[in-house]
Amino acid sequence: MKHKTQIVFVLFILILFSLPVSAFAAIGDIVIREVLFNPSDKSDTGLEYIIVRNRSSENINLTGWDLYPSDIGYFTFSSFSLSPQGEVKIHLNKSGTNDSGNLYQGSTSANMGDSSGSIAIFSSTTHKDTIQAFVRYQKPGSSESKTWETAASDAGIWQKGDFVNIDSLVAGQVIFLSDPNNFKSSAGWSIKTLTEGSSVATSTSGADVSGQEPTSDVNSESWPTEPQIYANAGKDKTVIVGADVYFSGQALGIEKEPLENARYLWNFGDGAIAENQNVKHIYQYPGEYITVLDVSSGKYSTSDNLLVKVVPNQLKIIEANEEFVKLQNGSNNNLDISGWVLKAGDKTFKFPASTFIKANSALMISFSVSGIKIGANEKIELLYSNWSAADSFINVRHVRHSVSNISNTEPTTVVDLKEIIPEVISTSSTQAASVITVEKNDFWGAGKWWGLAGLIGILSGAGFLFVRRKIV
């Protein structure tokens, strides 16, 4: 009996080592490579597909994984492993014979959306906390499809609110991951036209994957590439709510040369869009917005994005006189005030381009630079670049009025200037309250006169009685 048990154990070990070895996937190992969701102007049924790629240097067992194409339903991988650098095409809403490079979902009752949609991959049929890859596409102005976006954002594999802009996509074109190292945002995705006879790299399924070697280094990508153009939306910005924000895009051609006559489409992330190379926009509410620039020229298109952090206005005028104007940035961010304006009467000063105020710091603008002098009780305004009011300040001089020469130890009364000269009180929320101090005598300073008068009265009365008694 003992001998038989040992034989069974040895056979078990041999079988175990003869099975294909598959690694557990890390984030970024399995990515969505290409999506065709609008193959025809007519019926899309049976023509849509999604290509999935293994970017790692190990076999990855996808058995039991789920693929979610929006509007269609889940596709579960059955007994399938993907080789290093291998790809597999999943044919949606179509039946066929599975092989090493093609899997078929079978018939379903719907197709993917042509104007918006999302695709997600999960490492389990239990989808909580198992999302591995994600992409969302949308045509600006269409209804949003955000299924599993929050889970992707929480997992750090997609930027919430971001999407691949398909405004320029026509039927028969695909979205594809043109920059595999930037799979977490729309910046890594592009649009291209399919060529005749195009196919995916074959993968290996089942037991055939054992002994396979990586076809390329894990840090390199051997994906087929075609000429592409490039877009640059600029660096991330921190701006103030209600202020004009200027955006300037750049388009480069296939040889990285400046691209003329390109189309520029901006999506500011708050529902607004604009078309032009150089645009401006006003954010009405604080928050963080992903601004996307889409560039297209002929059959080529690409995109880039930047993060815009919009903060409440904490830039104030805290002092102004005949020598300088002093601004204070009360926020924790460096602020761009390019194009902002100081205005006093008919005098104005416009801050030049690339003017920044450091976080929690002050900026002093001298009269020799601005040409602005603020005399007593004169007003100065700080205006956004669109000339709407950001803050104002009145140079109210402090006044001390003495009513007697008394000791400094005597109490004083503080009187608010609003009761005396309300028309000169500043509208600035940051201006210190102006006050006037009026010194006064205490109660006993006035009482001594009453005491002296009383004493004189008593003495006068006593003298009157004394004289009368003498007469009598």
Query: According to the model, what pLDDT value does residue 217 have?
Result: 37
**Strand 435-439 vs strand 399-401: parallel, antiparallel, or unpaired?**
parallel
Say what the pTM is.
Answer: 0.43
What's the pLDDT at 336?
84
| Residue 345 bridge partners (DSSP) | none
Q: Is residue 48 part of a domain?
A: yes
CATH number of the domain bearing residue 166:
2.60.40.1260
Q: Do residues 157 and 239 both lie within one domain?
A: no
469 belongs to a structural domain: no
Same domain, 306 and 324: no
Same domain, 383 and 359: yes
Kindly give the pairing relationship between strand 189-193 and strand 49-54. unpaired
Could you give the CA distance from residue 420 to residue 434 in angstroms, rounded to a whole number?
11
Q: Is 371 a member of any domain?
A: yes
pLDDT at residue 58, as a whole number: 85
Q: Are residues 151 and 39 in the same domain?
A: yes
Tell me how many domains the chain contains.
Answer: 3
Which helix (DSSP H) or strand (DSSP E) does residue 292 occupy?
A: strand 287-297
- The pair of structure tokens assigned to 132 is 């591995």
In this structure, the answer to whether residues 84 and 176 fall within a common structural domain is yes
- The DSSP-derived string for 343-356 is EETTEEEEPPTT-E
Is residue 450, in this structure, part of any structural domain at all? no
Q: Which of 292, 311, 330 is the last residue of a domain?
A: 311
Residues 246 and 376 reside in one and the same domain: no
Q: How far apart are CA 364 and CA 81, in angstroms?
A: 66
CA 88 to chain centre: 35
Output the tens digit of pLDDT for each of the chain's 472 residues.
555 555 555 555 555 444 444 445 688 889 999 999 988 766 778 889 999 999 888 889 999 999 999 888 889 998 888 888 889 999 998 888 888 889 998 887 788 888 999 999 999 888 878 999 999 999 998 888 888 999 999 889 998 899 999 999 988 899 999 888 888 899 999 998 875 444 443 333 333 333 333 333 334 444 555 567 889 999 898 898 888 899 999 999 888 888 888 999 999 999 999 999 999 999 989 999 999 999 998 878 888 999 999 998 889 999 999 999 999 999 888 888 888 999 999 999 999 988 989 989 999 999 999 999 999 989 999 998 888 888 999 988 644 343 333 334 444 333 333 333 333 333 333 333 333 333 334 444 445 556 666 777 677 666 666 655 555 5
Residues 193 and 61 in one domain: yes
- Residue 70's domain comprises 20-209
Residue 152: phi and psi, rounded to 5, are -65, -40
- 5 belongs to a structural domain: no
* Residue 215 resides in a domain: no
Burial 80-90 (b: 16+ CB within 10 A, else e): bbbbbbbbbbb
What totals of helices (H) and strands (E) does the chain contain, helices first?
A: 4, 34
C-alpha distances in Å from residue 275, one per residue of 38, 251, 282, 312: 25, 14, 15, 27
Contact 68, 74 (CB under 8 A): yes
Q: What is the pLDDT of residue 81?
A: 87
- Identify the bridge partners of residue 237 per DSSP, sorted by sequence position: 308
CATH of the domain at 289: 2.60.40.10
182 and 246 fall within a common domain: no
Alpha-carbon dihedral of residues 210, 212, 213, 219, nearest 10 degrees? -90
Please tell me whether residues 48 and 77 are part of one structural domain: yes
Q: Is residue 330 part of a domain?
A: yes
Residues 16, 27: Cα–Cα separation, whole Å: 27
Convert 369-430 into a string of H (helix), E (strand) and C (coil).
Answer: HHCCCCCCCCEEEEECCCCCEEEEEECCCCEEECCCCCCCCCCEEEEEHHHCCHHHCCCCCC
